[in-house]
Structure 1
Amino acid sequence: MSAQHTAIPSGSPIWIDYSAGDFATQQAFYSALFGWTFQDQGEDYGHYTMVRAGDAVIGGAMDGELSAQFSGGPVQPAAWTVYLKTEDIARTLGLVAEHGGQVIVEAMPVGELGSMALAMTPGGEAVGFWQPGEFSGHDLPLTPGTSVWFEVMSKDFAADAEFYRAVCGWDVVPMGPDGQQDDAAPDEDGMPAYATDHTGEQATAGLCDAAAWLPEAVPSHWRVYFQTTDMDASVKVVEEKGGRIVDGPMDSPFGVVASVVDPAGATFQLNQPPARG
């Protein structure tokens, strides 16, 4: 998982946010696990909450029950959403429609901060888009409690690969099981196809062929990796605070990883990077 650049390139993750019911319980879970603080932005922004890890602004969060009150609909399942940077959100949404996607939420301004939209890809996962105004996106210091990688778990790798190429400018560079670029991937050992958006240190996101991994009832989805310096301690907090470890911890070329379901049912990844030495 390579270091992220301060200037986030177009087509790369620029923001993440979280929505769930029983919001106080979820805040307590993430505060205990990562030390996050939550800052309500007030009525003008629908009580959207900025999430901080120390001084870093790492994402946003919304009370799912409050969102349902605003919309008049049901409380949506808890989830993390990844937003990709666009320089022209209207053009991006036009490309979404041209390349097999569906616009779920049309482009809408968020004050002077920028504009956001939501879409569904041909592979079936929701993805957001953000065109920066005064707000340039999340901080990516690659420190404990902050996001360090983003990837699509796709049930239709080929369709999603073409979508992200056409809509977001991805190169879709194959990666082998050792974490290195491999033009022959997927390999003969049965590893799922995996690709990054760009080559080497320019990579900011991944695309995984998860068709054989995901249960029938689980759709394609984006997932976020958050850094921990002590996987054992993090696993203990997850379990004590009502979450579950559903896969791992296990070794990978990028350190120890584990898949987590939080108390509301949203999924994310923990990553303890390799020891330096």
Structure 2
Amino acid sequence: MRQTGKLDYLEMPASGGTLDSVKAFYSAAFSWSFTDYGPDYSAFSEGLDGGFHTDAIAGSAKPLPVLYSKNLEDTLNAVTQAGGRIIKPVFAFPGGRRFHFMDPAGNELAVWGE
């Protein structure tokens, strides 16, 4: 069962190579399998779910931890009240809705919910 605040997903850039080369590496080294969502995104489910993206989509140049929330608006308010800075307001994406924020140390994270 998902819990609010649980690290649920990890997005990583494939900008140092091509999406195909990154998928080939993880397939060969660790036997990972992938599900493609268009030419710019490929997801994996290998203990911790995640995905690789290309520069063609609006993604971070660093890995992006994605937390889960049962109530996105309540979590957005909690993040703001705790001193987080919202850098991408709530938006829809395939699978749900999410927002991005910066923590006090300057780390970018996202929170998603259905």
- 2:23 aligned residue: 27
Q: CA deviation at 1:130?
A: 1.1
CA spacing shift, 1:30–1:123, aligned 2, 3 Å: same
- Structure with higher Rg: it is 1
Q: Secondary structure at the match of 2:63?
A: strand
CA distance in 2, matches of 1:91, 1:130: 12
CA distance in 2, matches of 1:124, 1:80: 13
- 1:50 aligned residue: 43
Say which structure, 1 or 2, has more relative contact order (CA 8 Å, 6+ apart): 2
TM-score by length of 1: 0.36
Q: CA deviation at 1:76?
A: 5.1
CA distance in 2, matches of 1:8, 1:52: 16
RMSD over equivalenced CA pairs, Å: 2.4
CA distance in 1, matches of 2:2, 2:77: 22
CA distance in 1, matches of 2:60, 2:100: 15
Identical counterparts, % of pairs: 24
- 1:120 aligned residue: 102
Q: CA deviation at 1:98?
A: 2.0
1:170-209 pair list within 5 angstroms: none
Among 2, 17, 41, the alignment partner of 2:37 is 41
Q: Secondary structure at the match of 1:90?
A: helix
Q: Which stretches of structure 1, 4 residues or more, deviate above 6 A after TM superposition?
A: none
1:1-277 pair list within 5 angstroms: 7-21=1-15, 22-23=17-18, 24-42=20-38, 47-53=40-46, 58-64=49-55, 66-67=56-57, 77=61, 79-111=62-94, 113-131=95-113, 133=114
Q: CA deviation at 1:119?
A: 0.7
CA spacing shift, 1:29–1:10, aligned 2, 3 Å: same
Letter paired with 1:9: Q
Letter paired with 2:68: K
Aligned residues: 112
Q: CA deviation at 1:14?
A: 1.6
- Does the CA contact (< 8 Å) of 2:8 and 2:48 recur in 1? no
Counting strand residues as a fraction of each chain, which structure ranks higher?
Answer: 2
Question: What whole-Å deviation, never above 9, does each CA across 1:89-135 have from its counterpart, x for those lacking one?
Answer: 12222222222111121111224x2111111101221111011x3xx
Letter paired with 1:11: G
Q: Secondary structure at the match of 2:67?
A: strand
Gaps of 5+ in 1: 1-6, 134-277
Q: CA deviation at 1:48?
A: 2.5
- Does the CA contact (< 8 Å) of 1:50 and 1:57 recur in 2? no
Q: CA deviation at 1:29?
A: 2.3
- 1:243 aligned residue: none
CA distance in 1, matches of 2:82, 2:45: 36
